[in-house]
Amino acid sequence: MRVKRAPAYISTLFFASWIGTYLDLYFVGNGLYHFPHRPFPAIFSIDLSFTLIGLPLFVAFFLCIMAKLRAWQRGCFLITASLLMTWIEKQAETIGWFVHSSEWKHMYSFVGYSLFMAVVWKFYRWMSPL
């Protein structure tokens, strides 16, 4: 990471964490999924360890890779990363970290991660110096 891009990285990590937290609050609040094992379950209905630690780490890795790719490669990487996140989500379900409602379709996860990563990338590009 170049020093002049550090503010863009940091801002984007906070933005991604903020969006992820509010999306989790929305989906958990509407009963589409829940986190049976989470820190401070009496206080928080979502897994803050994911939105405050896991998601920023994933986004930092995502931004580093995306910055090195050409436009068509970014599209392929975004689709691949979305598929990978959907698979990881299913694995988290089998472990018991995450439970979807019966109405949930995993295509929602693929589309959601694709949109999330596209928005995060656009935000990073907007925040980056020219």
- The reported pTM is 0.89
* 54 pLDDT more than 70: yes
Could you read off the pLDDT of 84-104 as tens digits, one per residue?
A: 999 999 998 999 888 999 988
Mention every residue, 6+ apart, whose C-beta is less than 8 A from residue 33: 27, 98, 99, 100, 101, 104
Give per-residue pLDDT as tens, 23-51. Answer: 999 999 999 998 988 888 889 899 898 89
Give pLDDT, residue 81: 95
Q: Where are the domains of the chain?
A: 3-127
Band of residue 80 on the pLDDT scale cut at 50, 70, 90: very high
Phi, psi for residue 31 in degrees, rounded to 5: 75, 20
The stretch 64-68 carries a mean pLDDT of 95
Can you say how many angstroms the Cα of residue 23 is from the centroid of all Cα atoms in its chain?
10
Give the Cα separation of 119 and 15 in Å (integer): 10
Angle between helices 55-67 and 71-95 (to 10 degrees): 160
pLDDT for 39 equals: 86
Q: How far is CA 39 from the centre of its chain?
A: 19
Which of the four pLDDT bands, split at 50, 70 and 90, describes residue 20? very high
> Coil, strand or helix: which one is 20?
helix
Q: For residues 101 and 17, what is the distance between their CA atoms, to the nearest angstrom?
A: 24
